[in-house]
Amino acid sequence: MLKVLFIASEAYPFAKTGGLADVVGALPKSFGKDVDVRVMIPNYGSIPNLLEKNIHYHHHFYVQMDGKDYYCGILTGEHEGVKYYFIDNEYFFRRPELYGYYDDGERFTFFSRAALESLSSLGFEPDILHCHDWETAAVPYLLKHQYRTAFPKLKTVFTIHNMKYQGIYGFDDINQFLHLGFLPNDMEFYGKLNLMKGALYASDLVTTVSPTYAHELKDPYYGEGLDGVIRSIGAKEIGILNGIDGSVYNSATDSALFVPFSEPNGNKAANKKDLQEYLNLPVRPDVPMIAMVNRLIEQKGLDLVANVIHEILQLDIQFVVLGTGDANYENLLNSVAYNYPDKMVTRIEFDDPLSRRIYAASDLFLMPSKFEPCGLSQMIAMRYGSVPIVRETGGLKDTVSQFDPNTGIGNGFTFLNYNAHDMLFTIQNAVNIYHNDRGLFEKITDNAFNSRFNWENSAQVYLTHYRNLKEAEYHELYT
């Protein structure tokens, strides 16, 4: 049987700050019975009630780094049919947050080395290590350069969920954990050490989370300084679109909704009315509600929104924003909402049930990202019958297509350039259709609602690559 170990810094429901956790939590469930996919993450202080979730001590050993012995416990347990391993070291991981510490580089190089060293005693011998994002980027590098004799056949897949975060540190800051001796060319980045760069060269296969982003990463605008590396690894880098978990996001069964529904047109109205009451907005069935549910950061296109927010609010709409992020965007949105109490509500918080109510109540979902490796919110929005307005980039381009009234095809509204007025025109167009041709708007809503992005499809693509890699006699099959 094919055996795969996911190594990541987040997995829903144990630890989540972003979409990475959703992917690592959902994808392993989607492979079916002939693959054994397990997951390894750190045992953070914030992981709740370990014992209640039936997670227990497995064994422990010591990782030698910098002439010292570091304790490494392995806890294990099962969640929704998937076996999990938790790397336990209280000094590194018993902290209130997942990231944001001065020694994050050390914490995750420890995690990466501990993951490799645990392999001989897990009782599970994977064929493939599937690593995610910079926090685990040292794994393929160390395997190739320091552990190859112990695991001659083991192959590695590295997935880029976001090229913006690469794990860049001074050589001396983390070399005591990497034991490199000198700064190697394949990690060197403007005089510093770049963990992501090392993984791009050392992995047998590099994937990212949408075909368009895979292509965009070759371009300096998106490549964050590693576009040249991406171009040089050629066919070893591919894009596989993420999905969403249909059992978690289902408007017909979602108990968070005011009124669950299996058909959007007609039924969303009740959700809109309840949400308007809940948020103290005027209760009006005839006004299009535009929602934003996302981290309020530059990546998500907040600059564009900030630029034309007053023009947007001249339209006959309601605008609901939920999320946390950069203080300057939070403050701006709050103060604008204060000035338009009948039109705009801002909720600066992370509230999962409220997010679902907003998806279900809103007519339009705004996501004008500057770049977007995949994006999950637009897929969730569609699943709840909220029509996306997106910029044509990354996974947004691969999941949303501009509606064409001549063919009746298309599940949303799109614009190409990162330009506030292009976005504004697209919003105006959508709002016009809502006000002037409700039948047409309902058709677009149906198209969005019936779009399907299942994990099973993605899992089949990963599986084909896992099998190719396992059967390959040599490493770097794709170069």
Answer for which of 109, 242, 251, 378 binds ligand GLC (CB under 6 A) is 242
With binding defined as CB under 6 A, does residue 458 bind ligand GLC? no
Residue type, 350: F
**Which C-beta is closer to ligand GLC: that of 323 or that of 375?**
375
What distance lies between CA 45 and its chain's CA centroid? 22
Identify the CA nearest to 7 among candidates 143, 160, 150, 158. 158
Give the CA count within 13 Å in the CB-facing half-sphere of 223: 16
Minimum gap (Å) between residue 19 Cβ and ligand GLC:
3
Q: Which of residues 28, 140, 288, 373 is near ligand GLC by CB under 6 A?
A: 373
- C-beta separation of 12 from 80 below 8 A: no
Question: Least separation, in Å, of the C-beta of 223 and ligand GLC?
Answer: 15
Shortest distance, position 159 Cβ to ligand GLC, whole Å = 8
Tell me the number of residues near ligand GLC by CB under 6 A.
Answer: 14
Cβ neighbourhood burial of 17 (10 Å; 0-12, 13-18, 19+): middle
CB of 160 to ligand GLC, least distance (A): 9
Of 21 and 180, CB closest to ligand GLC: 21
CA dist 102 → 29, 92, 108, 114 (Å): 34, 11, 12, 20
Quote the CA–CA distance of 278 and 356 in Å, as a whole number. Answer: 14
Residue 349: exposed, middle, or buried by beta-carbon count in 10 A (0-12, 13-18, 19+)? Answer: exposed
User: Cβ of residue 11: shortest distance to ligand GLC, in angstroms?
Assistant: 12
Q: Which is nearer to ligand GLC, 18 or 225 (CB)?
A: 18
Closer CB to ligand GLC, 230 or 374, in the complex: 374
Q: Per-residue x/- mask for ligand GLC, residues 378 to 417, rule CB under 6 A?
A: -----------------x----------------------
Does the protein bind ligand GLC through residue 18 (CB under 6 A)? yes
User: Nearer Cβ to ligand GLC, position 210 or 318?
Assistant: 210
Taking CB under 6 A as the criterion, the residue among 372, 391, 430, 433 binding ligand GLC is 372
CB of 15 to ligand GLC, least distance (A): 14
**Residue 15 is a binding residue for ligand GLC (CB under 6 A):** no
Q: From start to end of 342-435, where are the E strands?
A: 344-347, 364-367, 387-391, 413-415
Residue 328: HSE in the Cβ half-sphere, 13 Å Cα cutoff: 6
**Closest CB to ligand GLC among 176 and 460?**
460
Q: Is 294 a binder of ligand GLC (CB under 6 A)?
A: no
Residues 184-213: x where in contact with ligand GLC by CB under 6 A, - otherwise, as a string: -------------------------x----
Which residue from 113, 161, 343, 465 is in contact with ligand GLC, where contact means CB under 6 A?
A: 161
Question: 410-416: which pairs have CB atoms within 8 A and are 24 or more residues apart?
Answer: 410/444, 410/447, 411/382, 411/387, 411/444, 411/447, 411/448, 411/451, 412/378, 412/382, 412/387, 412/388, 412/444, 412/448, 413/364, 413/387, 413/388, 413/389, 414/389, 414/390, 415/368, 415/391, 416/391, 416/392
Residues that bind ligand GLC (CB under 6 A): 18-20, 23, 161-162, 209, 242, 372-376, 395
